[in-house]
Structure 1
Amino acid sequence: MAHLEQSAAEAAWNVFRTQSPLDAANYIRQVARNVEARTMLRSTHSALDALDIEAAMHGTGISLGVMAVDEAATGDTLESERAELRQQAITADIGITGVDYAIAETGSCVLLPRKGVSRVVSLLPPVHIAVVESGQVLPSLDELFTLRRQDFLTGDLGSYMNLISGPSRSADIEYQLVTGVHGPGEVHMILLG
């Protein structure tokens, strides 16, 4: 965790380390106040359930949605729900996710697709908050690719893997570095544990 904390800070993450889920939820509340957020959207990572973000946001007037479709939805209803969630991600001020892994070497978070976990929560809002639990930290990309190879061999690879290594940065135009063009310009990593 200490190595991840250092490398993430070097990659321009705003890093907050705590042992307390309550402190983590209060940090999210403070970030929301600082950016004057009106809407937030979160994934269904189990790490977020332990934080009880809903309770922390109570009384703030900030709307908090969950990126999950009704499991019974099918056909047109399912597509309609997905379209509505995509629109919520586009208009959200803050996206909050857990992670599947974090890479200490690079200060990166890794998101893998599954029900309730969509990359749009981490990509579309201008502010992204990622919650990392201590058991999710891998030393380097070598360990990540070893695990992913095993997923490939068992047929559980999924359709993508999202590696997030700090705020969006681009120097496409006249070699001038600009932040937040292709994704969040402000990123926060909460290290829990």
Structure 2
Amino acid sequence: MAFDFASRFEKLSGIVHRVGSEAAAAATIAQICQTSQAGCIALAGLSSTLVALIKEACEQTCPELSILTEPYAAADLPLAIDRADIGVTGISFAIAQSGTMVEVADNDALRLVSSLPRIHIGLLRAEDIIEHYHDSAGRIRATIADHPENLVLSFISGPSRTGDIELKLTLGVHGPEEAHCVIIDAAA
């Protein structure tokens, strides 16, 4: 299913990276930071292990990079994240049928880290890719039951796009202009 997801995500102008470990995922993120000449990266919704690996990889690859991590102060949340060129978030699951990453946010930081910076990188485990939309119903129901208040589900299918009256698509007007998905797959 990872191949089907990747194929569809790429058709939607997304960029897929398949790696075999969390350390390789961190190295990929550092490479994206270096290639894009990012000055600041924001992290949200990641395990402490992944945060440490990303910090280490970025410090080696691009030592000038500022790294913002949770917890973010509520008072300056949007302004802090708005400084970031790249936002990295954990992805709850993905739908192969449409090439869609599904992000479950129970706080504003996670939602803003994936939508404010010009580049979004979603981290996804291969085993969390499901085949069809209807396969997501049980996961969504369970998530809502676990978080009955202040829950946002974001369905991310490539970079933000908008069209004008002349039907010209423009990327990045209302969100990230570049979307990456790093799939962590031990079989990769």
User: What is the TM-score when the length of structure 1 is the normalising length?
Assistant: 0.85
Matched, 1:156 2:157: no
- Output one character per residue of 1:121-171: Cα deviation in whole Å (capped at 9) or x when no partner: 00000000111112211111111123223444x463443211111001111
Distance 1:38 1:131 in 2: 20
2:64 aligns with one of 53, 57, 61: 61
Give the counterpart letter for 2:43 in structure 1. Answer: R
**8 Å contact from structure 2 (residues 103, 154) kept in 1:** yes
Q: Secondary structure at the match of 2:183?
A: strand
Match of 2:6 in 1: 5
With 116-125 and 182-191 compared, the bigger mean Cα shift is at: 116-125
Q: Secondary structure at the match of 1:52?
A: helix
Deviation at 1:47, TM superposition (A): 8.3
Q: Between Structure 1 and Structure 2, how many residues are aligned?
A: 181
**8 Å contact from structure 1 (residues 113, 160) kept in 2:** yes
Aligned residue runs from structure 1 range 24-103, under 5 A: 24-46=25-47, 49=50, 52-59=53-60, 60-69=63-72, 81-103=73-95
Distance 1:126 1:95, change over 3 A: same
Deviation at 1:101, TM superposition (A): 0.9
Alpha-carbon RMSD: 2.1
Match of 1:22 in 2: 23
Q: Which has the larger radius of gyration?
A: 1
Aligned residue runs from structure 1 range 154-193, under 5 A: 154=145, 156-158=147-149, 159-193=151-185
Gaps of 5+ in 2: none
With 47-56 and 136-145 compared, the bigger mean Cα shift is at: 47-56
Runs of 4+ displaced beyond 6 Å: none
- Output one character per residue of 1:78-123: Cα deviation in whole Å (capped at 9) or x when no partner: xxx2132321211210000111111111111111123585210000
